[in-house]
Structure 1
Amino acid sequence: KRRKQRTVPVSGATVAALRAHWHDRGRDFDAPQARGRLIAPQRIPGTRTALERHDAQPEDAPYTVDAFGRLVRTAVQRLARESAALADFSTDDLVQLANTSAHAFRHTFGTRAVAREMPTDVVQAILGHASLQTTSIYVRAERRRMLEAAARYYDEDAG
Structure 2
Amino acid sequence: MGSAYIGIDIGTTTITGLIYDLNRREVVHRITANQASASLQGQENGERLQDSNAIYRQSERILKELLGLEPEIEGIGLTGQMHGIVYMNEFGDAVSPLYTWQDGRGAQLVPGENRTYAERISELTGYRVAPGYGLVTHVYNVERGLLPEGGRSPVLNR
TM-score range, shorter chain: under 0.3
Q: Please state which structure has a larger fraction of its residues in strand.
A: 2
When the two structures are superposed, what TM-score results if normalisation uses the length of structure 1? 0.24
Where is the helix percentage greater, Structure 1 or Structure 2?
A: 1
